[in-house]
Structure 1
């Protein structure tokens, strides 16, 4: 089968599309014929060696976390899925097993490929609803889980002023429509403004523009958590700032202790899995064939992207 492969640690330009053996499912696993897969930051950061101290990769390593496709084989003991079922979901490389939850981890052989194997007993994989097309289903899992956790943790209220930093990415374009009743200031580039307003932003400001004052709630979706001083200054006393980036938040990063500053990361599925996120609508910014997987990853790493980048297989 064809797959996007890392043959050693390095930047996206060193990746390749190569022939790999088709993985076979063991007991409790399913094999999926991948129809589409989306790109996430992990697909760049993992082969770059950022997690090497916690999880050493074995090469060649097939990349990819999110997918949509058709069950092509089931392992012994699997009853929830059958050959021909349309499924979608999220999984992490088996090399990262120690970094995921202790419950029912969702592990994969890599989704940027023609075939991948997954654990069947996990809330992070589900049957694909007919209303969700293949590309959207592949774009949704990671951003959907993230948005679901952000909404449950932050509990935005109608009438609040909400700042969304990095609104044009996959998470931001999925989050904006859920902030109904709020005054939403979204950061983005001028060409993104029309789409961001259509998604629910009240106002779109450039990344370099001054942030508004007296913000009730801020979501940081892109900047490192130790570079949020400007966001911190925009918050009213008692305001809330939720980030999905590392390092772990520290009040000293903001130079103020009168606001809530938290990392939102749900590796256990505490706020639900694929079934719960299926009603969210992701934005597919650009599609690439699998053969152009390396170009898609280099674009993701080096260019401003709108929504999610999806590989079609």
Structure 2
């Protein structure tokens, strides 16, 4: 089969499209013919070696977590899925089993989704049947983004009368978090580059701040001198989070998904979390319009290395999706 492969740690430049043996499903596993694979910054972080101490990669390594596809074969003991089922979800590289256990129980692992075929653990709640009305590309954009946005929304008492600042609203997680927050009735202030502002408003943001044209905290405090109730940070790292946190009222909360995070009592790290039924709920919200589709750029598998280069070096709004 064709797959994107790395044979050593490095940047996107160590990736290549190669012919490699297709994986085989073992007991409790399914083999999926991948129809769409959505890229995530975490793919490049793993490749860089930043997680080497806790999750050393095995080479050759095929990147990719998010996918939509068709079950080609069910391994021994699998009863949840059968050949021909349309499925979607996410899996983490097998060396990252300890981290995957924090995402779902049982952990969701994969051989890598940016490939023609990938193997997954059948019973992981981070996998689900794809509804007929949800096309594969849209389904592939949902898992990591949606399963990170849902825990953020669950982490605070969002609702009418609450104000929330979302930093990094035009990225993959932001395009899921903003409409979910808006659906609670919270007043959403979002940051986005100038060209992405209208799209973020369309997702449900009541106000948009162009972070390239103004200091985010100062712009918020000009509008709301008492500050916002909650900051949701999707992109800033380290002390940059604290700069944005100046916009939070005394006693407010700071939620972040970006590492490293500042070590402060009012800063809470929120991890991707897959509970049973979450993917079904996200699919239903995508179908009923609660979760509008993000901007998507698609690439053929032969162009997947360029997709990772774009992810690494270009401003990306929405999601990049490879179509094996």
State the TM bucket, normalised to the shorter chain: over 0.9
Structure 1 length-normalised TM: 0.93
Aligned with 2:304 (options 289, 293, 306): 293
Question: Deviation digits for residues 124-176 of structure 1, max 9, x if unmatched?
Answer: 10100122111011110000100111111123121222111001101111111
Question: Deviation digits for residues 232-266 of structure 1, max 9, x if unmatched?
Answer: 21111111110001224422xxxxx6xx3201014
Residue 257 of structure 2 corresponds to 244
Aligned pairs (5 A) from 1:119-268? 119-180=121-182, 181-208=185-212, 209-210=214-215, 211=217, 212-213=220-221, 214-251=227-264, 260-267=266-273
Distance 1:222 1:290 in 2: 27
Distance 2:87 2:238 in 1: 34
Deviation at 1:272? 5.3
**1:83 aligned counterpart, secondary structure:** coil
Q: Is the 8 A contact 1:226 1:247 kept in 2?
A: no
Distance 1:81 1:157 in 2: 37
- Cα separation, partners in 2 of 1:43 and 1:266, compared to 1, 3 Å: closer
Q: Is the 8 A contact 2:144 2:272 kept in 1?
A: no
Distance 1:171 1:215 in 2: 20
1:312 maps to 2:323: yes
- Cα separation, partners in 2 of 1:288 and 1:36, compared to 1, 3 Å: same
Deviation at 1:285? 2.3
Distance 1:7 1:200 in 2: 43
Question: Deviation digits for residues 5-31 of structure 1, max 9, x if unmatched?
Answer: 111111102210111101111111100
Distance 1:271 1:88 in 2: 14
Question: Deviation digits for residues 193-241 of structure 1, max 9, x if unmatched?
Answer: 1111111112221224133121111110011143212222111111111
**2:69 aligned counterpart, secondary structure:** strand
Residue 276 of structure 1 corresponds to 281
Gaps of 5+ in 2: 222-226
Deviation at 1:184? 1.8
* RMSD of aligned residue pairs (Cα, Å): 1.6
- Cα separation, partners in 2 of 1:284 and 1:32, compared to 1, 3 Å: farther
Structure 2 length-normalised TM: 0.90
Structure number with the higher helix fraction is 2
Distance 1:61 1:34 in 2: 17
1:64 maps to 2:64: yes
* Count of aligned pairs between the two proteins: 305
Deviation at 1:70? 0.2
